[in-house]
Structure 1
């Protein structure tokens, strides 16, 4: 039975050309012949030469920086410091922080982006209710601090009174003992 070498379709006897691609039919297909759609081309980036860009304390901070770098088409990755990867698995976070690496050829560009990112002020929009809540908490904290200071002053006065009473009692006791022995 004839076959089309490009489409890899089987034809009945008597056909000489493929009706789809107009190729000459062959009697047998080669197993190692691949059609164009089967040929897959892969593009491989050259190996990365990693350079330490920055060390951060938290994973979320590392993720923010990585996303910024990836948006700028800079190849990067982060690696937990010390036993941080194990801590992340068992505890959900790491106290050791993470190192962020970039390709050596992109280091200057990545460093500039990082500097720009750090210079940006944090802009947070706060509605009136949240602002009142924050103000109330600040007022409460100030009140708490004032109460603590007042309690500290009272404790100081109380300690002074106790020491004074003890000193007077000691003097009275010494006087009584001396009075008994000197009689």
Structure 2
């Protein structure tokens, strides 16, 4: 489909305006955004747990670890609990469950790092440090879950506003990021 560069400019204005509107809505309703994001995250966590369970049974038995099976089952249960929660519960439960999930997943990465370190020292260290970082993030989220939800929502709103303003500027300056970054 051939379209003129002028069409791209109008599309930049339209998309930019929609991004700005989305950012403003999220900015003024951060907890509602967290509830909707909670539904999405719940679905993704559940699907991720089923994928991990499938992957556990797909690999040869000698590579299977009980911790992998346990993590996938915990992830599935967590996702189902979150999916059956109301919007009001999502606002408070999502950050808390995500925090505990991060702590559990970080501990799993630390244990994997210890095992990997026996054969590949540098790779094992990287996996361990990433696990420690995930555990620290999870602990921080348990301290103030609603604050964590608001920070996440405001960060998303800021991202939408920034991208939206950039697209509107593209329209008014006559540039199109589609032409400049067509390889993306």
TM-score, normalised by the number of residues in structure 2: 0.23
- In our comparison, the structure showing a higher alpha carbon Rg is 1
Higher relative contact order (CA 8 A, sep 6+): 2
TM-score, normalised by the number of residues in structure 1: 0.23
> Which structure has greater strand proportion?
1
